[in-house]
Amino acid sequence: MTLLRINGYNAGMNKPRLPLILEPDILQSHLDDNDLLVVDLCKQAVYDKYHVPGAIHVDADRITASQPPVMGLLPDAEDWSHLLSDIGITPQSHVVAYDDSMGVAACRFLWTLHTIGHTYYSLLNGGLHSWAGEDHPLSQQASEPRYSEYPLRAMNQGIADRDYILSRLADDTVQIVDTRTALEYLGEDVRALRGGHIPGALNADWSLAVDRERNMRLFPEAHLRALYKHAGLDQNKETILYCHTHRRSAHSFIVLQSLGFNDLRGYPGSWSDWGNHADTPCSDQQNPALL
């Protein structure tokens, strides 16, 4: 059973106690709760065909910015505040996000909420695959959001940029985790000016956390802990996560958060930033600590 970590609730606010990793049955029983808002990050055509009743659609392209060749950057803080207001999110809203792409878009949305200190959020375990595949109610009616006023907040929590990482390469209290495929990590699949990985980084392919036999749910907690232990992760260290554009690593951010990793940072831009700079150190060797 996946760890049911309660995420961000203040008992004094009389909010429902929802876990960070939320099962479809539990979501269905809470769809009418006040202050709960479901965000759909599937493609528009999928949303038009069917979605969780009441879900507000968000184009996944709106949750990142780009400065080619660097992709997957944080959106402008003012643009992000406008987006949250446009879809009716308030600082008190508990946001449940899902997609049909194994959770990467949904997790990137939730991580970006995390950067402004919004702590009321959950990932629908399995996303649209588990919801639709297990006979939960579906709707074709587009949901009209209620406009809100989400205050402008600094986007400065749970973030590591290139300079931050460069300053910590020799810090043994920090672990850097590359969540891409092994071929990307080893520089055999090159998607930037240079291939390889950040020196000393551990490789923990994000997709290994997803059970394709259970409607794209995360594997149970014990399996996940064994997976990350095998990859060399230490829960007591500061953990910096990256992939190519910080979508896959945002997924790992939410998974590790659910397992109790408290000192987590994501790298916006990720390898599309690091690998496209001529002066950043790169390695194509397996981390010697795991050999």
As a whole number of angstroms, the distance between CA 264 and CA 253 comes to 7
Whether 108 and 41 share a structural domain: yes
Q: Same structural domain for residues 192 and 124? A: no
Provide the pLDDT for residue 138: 98
Distance from C-alpha of 243 to C-alpha of 179, rounded to nearest angstrom = 5
The stretches in the chain having pLDDT less than 50 are 1-6, 8-14, 291
Q: Write down the pLDDT at residue 13.
A: 44
Alpha carbon separation from 8 to 15, 59, 95, 177 (Å, rounded): 10, 25, 11, 25
Do 64 and 166 lie in one domain? The reply is no
127: left (phi over 0), alpha (psi -120 to 50) or beta: left
167 and 284 co-located in one domain: yes
Q: What is the pLDDT of residue 286?
A: 74
pLDDT given for residue 288 in this prediction: 56
Query: Which tokens belong to 263?
Result: 């000192």
pLDDT at residue 114, rounded to an integer: 98
Listed in sequence order, the residues at least 6 apart from 120 whose beta carbon sits closer than 8 Å to its beta carbon are 7, 8, 9, 15, 35, 92, 93, 94, 95
Whether omega for the bond prior to residue 69 falls within 30 degrees of 0, making it cis, is: yes
- What pLDDT is attached to residue 156? 96
- Domain's final residue, options 114, 133, 152: 133
Same domain flag for 108 and 194 = no
Q: What is the full DSSP assignment across 42-61?
A: S-HHHHHH-B-TTPEE--GG
pLDDT digits (tens, 9 = 90+) for 166-224: 999 999 999 999 999 999 999 999 999 999 999 999 999 999 999 999 999 999 999 99
Q: Are residues 168 and 278 in the same domain?
A: yes
280 occurs within a structural domain: yes
**What is the amino acid identity at position 231?**
A
Task: State residue 285's pLDDT score.
Answer: 79
121 & 214 share domain: no
- The CATH number given to whatever domain includes residue 60 is 3.40.250.10
pTM over 0.75: yes
The answer to whether residue 143 is domain-embedded is no
Bridge partners (DSSP) of residue 73 are 65
- Tell me what pLDDT residue 31 has: 96
210/93 same-domain check = no
Domain encompassing residue 79: 11-133
The pLDDT value recorded for residue 8 is 45
Asked if the structure places residue 142 within a domain, the reply is no
Q: Is residue 154 part of a domain?
A: no
Residue 199 inside a domain? The answer is: yes
Options 42, 107, 243, 282, the catalytic residue: 243
107 carries an active-site annotation: no
Pair (166, 281) in one structural domain: yes
Whether 148 is in a domain gets the answer no
Q: Is residue 210 part of a domain?
A: yes
Judgement on whether residues 107 and 192 belong to the same structural domain of the protein: no
Tell whether 144 is covered by a domain.
Answer: no
**Cα dihedral 124→129→135→136 (10° resolution):** 30
CA distances from 222 to 2, 226, 265 (A): 8, 6, 23
User: What does the DSSP assignment read for 122-153?
Assistant: EEETTHHHHHHHTT---B-SPPPPPP--PPP-
- The structural domain count of the chain equals 2
